[in-house]
Structure 1
Amino acid sequence: MIVEDKYIKIEEDSDEDVDDDQPTHGRAMARDVEYLVVTTLLDNTALQECSVPQHVLRKILSAGNSSTLVNSLENLIQVCRTADGRAGLASKDILPPAIQLIQSLPYPSARHLLTLCLKLVRNLCAGEIANHNSFVQLNGGALISNVSNSASLSLEPDAGIIRMGLQVLANVSLAGQQHQRAIWQQLFPKEFVALARVQSRETCDPLCMVIYACGDGSPELFAQLCSARGITIVKEIVNTTAAVGCGEDWYKLLLSRTCLEGPYFQSLFSNLGFVGATENGEDTEFRVDAFSAEQAFFLRCISDILNERLQEITVPSDLAFCVFGIFKKSIGILKSATRVKSGHPTGSSMIDVLGYSLTILRDICAQKSVRGSNEDLGDALDVLLSHGLIELLLCLLRDLEPTSVIWKAIKQGEERDGPKSSSLKPCPYKGFQRDMVAVIGNCTYKSKLVQDEIRQRDWILLLLQQCGLDDDNPYLREWGIWCVRDLFQGNEENERVVVELELQGAVDTPEIAQLGLRVEVNPNTRRPKLVNVS
């Protein structure tokens, strides 16, 4: 709805209205409260009046060099697009009348004027410290909150007005800790929760920016955000983003700071669903409704953030342990899962939690290979290994149906879903087998402990079988080769196992022959090497 200026009339007090006995300063006060009546056309059917103090109007008209309010505001918006323009308007003290004008304009009848005023204040606060200080002194955060509340209470929340108000707060919050705390005190937690519940990408992005900017450099504020009072804010932001998506990086930065760089992963995960991971990661009881769609989406976001920032973020061991607990709980779905021909998200919360927790584990275990083994990366990987990650993955891998190439060789044309396959489990999503091999491969990198465990549990041949093509697991072959190379690197005991397999004829089994690879053994050193047949 756009409100247009119909006419502007300045009403002056007549002499008859002024008491002669009134003191001079009383007359001055009377003049200060004179009002401009702006009559606007609303929807071409009704008239709506809003009153603006006369001194406010005069200041804006004079600074904007126009006789109409709309033109003056538009002119001022253009002027303050530059640093010199903002500084010039700050010297004229134009922010206070702009704030007062916002206070005088009703929503929604004066929506167009409100939009222009908010845009003006936003531009005035873009890097001009004098305006930042003035905004805080005038309690501008509460004013913006009131406008946003009015815009969010309609049947369809006005995302444009709310977004503009949040952009004002974001600009002010960049001025420093004093300004950040002023905004935080005025909006936390109630107003932040209300804004987070507006399901619009237009509003969610700047809201995340405001919260991130306010808490940046202040662990205390992030602790408040993830406390019992504030956790609903982040929960509602996740829910909104799950519904409408995000267009900017502020949402990911906020989650990264709180859940990957901060200690609040488990708290938020538990608040998003029906059942969270237990603190010790040992609760593996499976329920069909164990995880919610919001929890699956949250893990998807964490997985994306970690993968994008693998060079920067060192995952703490308690987070790794928590994710491992989530993964162990989610594998119960394998008992009843059917083959799914798509990758995640699959539409099933349980399967998506299984997949995203696995990719998070994959990237946690990749930190050593990505960032160099000499860097101190904490003990997250050690914690995972000490709690049986490798054994669990290899057992799951053993119970899966063989790859499509091996299956065809063994069954010689028999249908893959025939009755003889009932004892083996299909991949619950496209890429599940590949993801498990990727985790094992990342754990094996320059780790004699893992290499020896795989040999001692007699899993070498199983991993060799992962080096082939599979319709349900894109890039399984590449991950399998990576895993096997790391399995042999610097480990003579593992090399001897492959030599013995070759001497026994085990390497020439149909399973291995159909991989598109062969194992060659150097006749002098007796060391094995994977060779592409083609």
Structure 2
Amino acid sequence: MAAPRPPPARLSGVMVPAPIQDLEALRALTALFKEQRNRNLDTIGVAVDLILLFRELRVEQESLLTAFRCGLQFLGNIASRNEASQRVVWMHAFPELFLSCLNHPDKKIVAYSSMILFTSLSSERMKELEENLNIAIDVVEAHRKQPESEWPFLIITDHFLKSPELVKAMYAKMSNQERVALLDLTIAKIAGEEPLTKDDVPVFLSHAELVASAFVDQCRAVLHLTAEQPTGDEEALATIRLLDVLCEMTANTDLLGYLQVFPGLLERVIDLLRLIHAAGSDTTSIFSPCASIKAEGDITNVAEGFKSHLIRLIGNLCYKNKENQDKVSELDGIPLILDSCGIDDSNPFLTQWVVYAIRNLTEDNSRNQDLIAKMEEQGLADPSLLKKMGFEVEKRGDKLILKSASDTPQL
């Protein structure tokens, strides 16, 4: 007959187990369950119950934390590369274990519970996450707080970003800080070394709809940013990241065509560029060319590059698209873009993006070429600026021709 266990001890009025005598045994079990043949014992439910007990106690005693971590590692090992075990783990652990652990202050507990979630997820179980959005949002928050942790990153990139329904539902419920974190990973996926696969494209077209819609609806939020409080408006910071995502999406040929015809997008970008350009004339504005704000020499202006990216997006949307080329002209966007070409420390590569946009606006478009040529004749476009951009105006009879300069653009 086994010796009776000692009764639980009390600590600060909270019932806690006596010093963990089975900690080494738990570690040994964790190691044993790395082997396939040891994974069919009915211990998963008990392990989950223990883990939830540790979380309920909320005692930061090191021995308890160690047992807590070992229990999570045990579940991760038992579920690794074994669908039957994954099914049982999911049945016992979802959703309580993840709701309890993904927001835990201990980094290792967050990492181990993320490992279990990553290992157990499947396309069918993703549907259950749509009904438990707090779990999905907790994963994004875990990545935001611990960007160096591998498991939350993999859950988002390998699972969440493959489910447009989940992403759309999450985005509507997230804080703006969490949205920025999710958008950053969207950029990383699009601009990564591995191109989008055929299966990825339909999914990212859905993401493109979400991003473009959000930008069209809230793009003016950036105007709330001030030089005195450059990070004071989180909605504005999320809008800046939406623009970054759109620039990367329109650089992808599989996504470009959809965004070129997205209702209201090009008009909104030109409208915002006009407002930002006008705000830049105020030397106290965060969008002023002189307002390269830095804190302690390290943190640059949060709006840095915003104007450049607006012009980059216009150039992308007009790439080999005559309807958009003409639309920019009709909205008086060409003079606006030309007037934006100047030295601006807060907008690196601004001249290069202006050159890029003008080339895309004038390619196979005689109307826009004539417009720029007449601007030069009327003194509305600086000939030296045009030459710097790689263009020159030539008069042939009664007609003005905009052509590429013979020398290399001085970028």
TM-score of the pair, normalised by structure 2: 0.77
Question: Per-residue deviation at 1:387?
Answer: 0.8
Equivalent residues in 2 for 1:303-322, closer than 5 Å? 303-308=187-192, 311-312=195-196, 313-314=200-201, 315-322=203-210
Aligned to 1:338: 226
- Of 355, 358, 378, 1:484 maps to 358
CA distance in 1, matches of 2:18, 2:311: 58
Aligned to 2:326: 452
For the structure 1 residues 206 and 465, does the alpha-carbon distance in structure 2 shift closer, same or farther, using more than 3 Å as the test? farther
- The question of 1:353 aligning with 2:241 is answered no
- The question of 1:519 aligning with 2:386 is answered no
**Structure 2 segments unaligned to the other structure (5+ residues):** 10-15, 294-300
- Of 160, 164, 174, 1:272 maps to 174
Question: Per-residue deviation at 1:335?
Answer: 4.9
- The question of 1:495 aligning with 2:403 is answered no
Cα offsets for 1:55-109 (capped at 9, x unmatched): xxxxxxxxxxxxxxxxxxxxxxxxxxxxxxxxxxxxxxxxxxxxxxxxxxx8561
Question: Per-residue deviation at 1:336?
Answer: 3.8
Residue 400 of structure 1: SS of its match in structure 2? helix
Residue 520 of structure 1: SS of its match in structure 2? strand
Question: Per-residue deviation at 1:187?
Answer: 0.4
Question: Per-residue deviation at 1:205?
Answer: 2.5
CA distance in 1, matches of 2:305, 2:85: 48
Cα offsets for 1:474-515 (capped at 9, x unmatched): 3323333332333333444433333333333332279x48x9
Aligned to 2:163: 262
CA distance in 1, matches of 2:275, 2:310: 12
Aligned to 1:145: 48
Aligned to 1:395: 271
Alignment-mate amino acid for residue 140 of structure 2 = V
Instruction: Indicate the structure (1 or 2) with the bigger Cα radius of gyration.
Output: 1
Residue 392 of structure 2: SS of its match in structure 1? strand
Residue 308 of structure 1: SS of its match in structure 2? coil
**Structure 1 segments unaligned to the other structure (5+ residues):** 1-32, 43-105, 274-291, 369-376, 408-414
Alignment-mate amino acid for residue 463 of structure 1 = I
- The question of 1:172 aligning with 2:172 is answered no
Aligned to 2:33: 125
Question: Per-residue deviation at 1:365?
Answer: 1.6
- The question of 1:195 aligning with 2:91 is answered no
Aligned to 1:528: 403
Cα offsets for 1:174-227 (capped at 9, x unmatched): 323222111111101112211123133322233222212212xx3111111222
Aligned to 2:283: 416
CA distance in 2, matches of 1:241, 1:468: 38
- The question of 1:250 aligning with 2:151 is answered yes
Aligned to 1:468: 342
CA distance in 1, matches of 2:95, 2:193: 29
CA distance in 2, matches of 1:446, 1:138: 63
Aligned to 2:215: 327
In terms of mean alpha carbon deviation, does 258-267 or 327-336 score higher?
327-336
Cα offsets for 1:130-159 (capped at 9, x unmatched): 12xxx3x32332233233224333233855
Question: Per-residue deviation at 1:389?
Answer: 0.7
Cα offsets for 1:322-376 (capped at 9, x unmatched): 222322343343454323796xxx35312211112222222222211xxxxxxxx
Aligned to 1:223: 127
Contact kept? 1:366, 1:443, Cα under 8 Å: no
Contact kept? 1:225, 1:231, Cα under 8 Å: yes
Aligned length: 378
CA distance in 2, matches of 1:403, 1:336: 11
Of all paired residues, the percent bearing the same amino acid is 21
CA distance in 1, matches of 2:260, 2:206: 10
For the structure 1 residues 401 and 451, does the alpha-carbon distance in structure 2 shift closer, same or farther, using more than 3 Å as the test? closer
For the structure 1 residues 328 and 226, does the alpha-carbon distance in structure 2 shift closer, same or farther, using more than 3 Å as the test? same
For the structure 1 residues 403 and 162, does the alpha-carbon distance in structure 2 shift closer, same or farther, using more than 3 Å as the test? same
Alignment-mate amino acid for residue 134 of structure 2 = T
CA distance in 2, matches of 1:500, 1:466: 18
Residue 471 of structure 1: SS of its match in structure 2? coil
CA distance in 2, matches of 1:123, 1:269: 39
Aligned to 1:430: 304
